[in-house]
Amino acid sequence: MKRVIIFVLIAAACLGASWGAYQATTSLPEPALSRYFPSGALLYLQAKDFSSLLSNWDNSDENRLWLKSNNYEVFSRSRLFLRLKDANTEFSKAAGVPTDANLLRQVAGKQSALALFDIGKLEFLYITRLPSASSMRSTLWQTRSKFETRSAGGATFFLRRDPESEREVAFAVTGDFLLLATREDLLAGALQLMASGDARSIEAEPWWSQSVAAAGPENDLRMVLNLEKIVPSPYFRSYWVQQNITDMKQYSAAISDLTLSGKEYREERVLLRKIAATEDTSGGAGPIGVADIVRLVPAQASVYEAKANPAPLDCLALLETKILAPHLGPGAVEKLAPQVELTNGETGSSTDLETRIDQPPVRASVADDTVAALKDLLTKNPVSAMLQVESTEQDKDGVFVRMHSAVALLGQSEWNESAVRSALVDFVRPSLTTGDLGVDWQKNGAYIELNGLWTLSVAVRGKYLLISDHAGLLTGMLANANQETTLKPAVFAAGFDHQEERDNFVRLTGLLDRPAGGSGAGSTPNFFSDNIASLSSALAGLSSEKIVVRDAGNRVSQTVTYEWAR
């Protein structure tokens, strides 16, 4: 009996050990798809669950509204869209099947990744984890008889070429992997890496390894960029919306991780510099000042932006353009040919007779001697952090939209209130009066303001100088002066309340665009009131956006947070 009991216990122990080993084996994370991508990629994009992301987009209000918007209409006529459309047509001919949304849904598995190897030719490799039964139900697999067969890494793949466009389409199904590529060598290289791992993958390249090492854990969506190869590309220079090519040249690589969590989307970006700085500037007076000054942002402000260590001329320019002497800057460079308007031949009107030709036109900007005192004030007390806040409101008649601004400057030493008053009056006097009417300061509770018809409110609180053209904004900033900061040191922080400003933006731009015409049948939509406003409407569910930038010398990290109302 004892032998039976001992045997049972030994068997149970062995079974338990075997089950534990099995559990440990099955709970191991699936290997990253990046190890199967050959070297030479410019961009790598990976999704934890591409099928779910695609389904969510297909069924979203944003997708439905955008496809019906003026923004999409304009985009569908753009040079970029037409080039992509032509390339898609060529891929369809090469594959022998329509490369449309239906095919995309068929090949969208769970864990998926795509690497781009050539921007101009749109050469890519796509790998997804998809049950082989699902892969074999796809249109691509069903038409494999039209393809030539090849082999690599002990697996068979299929290749088809279009002689006219010289496009290639290759695909393979191996185990629970579906591979799709636009070059034979890319697919063959991936199969070789899957079989033996002898070939060199992108994981061995510095731009990849350094980016991944600098980032946190990968989340719902990850993108890694080889900026040393991307930025010099003429296609990048032509189509990069921000047009900050010079600034991008300092970076060798970048990585971005997007986390989707309920009503909050958070994007963590890291940009690696080619030449590392000698010191970490993330904890200096400027970044600490940004973290401190952001607490002043009032509840009624819809837009705010804080910068560390601004130059005196930058502070002066912000005060001038936003509050003290708003004026039109130089016109943007026109990239379109002028439109020809046919008229009855008249080249002037009777009102032109009232135009003075014996006097020079009035300068839009203020004279140099009027800014000397303010410029000297900002130079003597360098600013550690600068904050600007803005808001809009409709007038009581509901016709016009008023824009209000406020600026806060955190000096390295306390501000001289008497010098501040004098410098501001010297600046604004020439544009307000030929004498001294309306440029005397009067006390109004916690701040001072000019006694004329134009609103200019100022408050000095030690190292803080607050200036606004709207008393409500200034009062809101002063009310937050005793709050504790919740932000860690940063070189830049900004926020935008889309839900609050959306309606006012549409109303304001509708008035500004009206002289330009448009919006009629067959006409081009106006840029602001039709094009951009329709994009805003499609994203009506987006409540707000915030960005925080930190500079560690050798790398720049950015955290972008999107808050959704639904």
Where does the pLDDT of residue 277 fall: very low under 50, low under 70, confident under 90, or very high at 90 and above?
low
pLDDT in tens, 422-448: 999 989 888 877 777 888 899 998 999
pLDDT exceeds cutoff 90 at 337 = no
Question: What integer best gives the mean pLDDT of the chain?
Answer: 87
Where does the pLDDT of residue 20 fall: very low under 50, low under 70, confident under 90, or very high at 90 and above?
very low
Q: With 0-12 CB in 10 A as exposed, 13-18 as middle and 19+ as buried, what is 101?
A: exposed
Nearest to 491 by CA among 553, 411, 546, 550: 550
The SS3 assignment for 380 reads helix
CB 227 within 8 A of CB 245: no
The residue type found at 516 is A
Rounded to an integer, the average pLDDT of 79-102 is 93
Rounded to an integer, the average pLDDT of 285-297 is 95
pLDDT exceeds cutoff 60 at 363 = no
* pLDDT of the residue at 18: 36
pLDDT exceeds cutoff 80 at 483 = yes
Considering only CA atoms, give the Rg of the chain: 31
Dihedral (CA of 364, 370, 374, 375) sign: positive
Higher pLDDT, 16 or 404: 404
Rounded to an integer, the average pLDDT of 360-365 is 52
- 473-496 core/surface letters (b: 16 or more CB in 10 A; e: else): bbbbbbeeeeeeeeeebbbbbbbb
What the block records as the tokens of 208 is 């990849």
Domain ranges of the chain: 33-204, 219-274, 285-325+366-564
- Beta-bridge partners for 169: 160
CA distance 291 to 323: 24
CB 402 within 8 A of CB 395: yes
Which of these ranges, 139-153, 170-184, 392-406, 413-427, has the smallest mean pLDDT? 392-406
Q: What are phi and psi of 16, to 5 degrees?
A: -65, -40
Cβ atoms within 10 Å of 22's Cβ, excluding its own: 10
Which of these ranges, 197-201, 225-229, 494-498, has the smallest mean pLDDT? 197-201
Three-state SS across 142-207?
Answer: HCHHHCEEEEECCEEEEEEEECCCCEEEEEEEECCEEEEECCHHHHHHHHHHHHCCCCCEHHHCHH
pLDDT in tens, 392-412: 998 888 788 999 999 999 999
Phi-psi region of 238 (alpha: psi -120 to 50; beta: other; left: phi over 0): alpha
CB 452 within 8 A of CB 432: yes
Distance from chain centroid for Cα 393: 26
H/E element holding 443? strand 441-444
Where does the pLDDT of residue 15 fall: very low under 50, low under 70, confident under 90, or very high at 90 and above?
very low
* pLDDT of the residue at 208: 95
Geometric angle at alpha carbon 553, from 549 and 554, rounded to 5°: 105
pLDDT exceeds cutoff 80 at 12 = no
* pLDDT of the residue at 480: 93
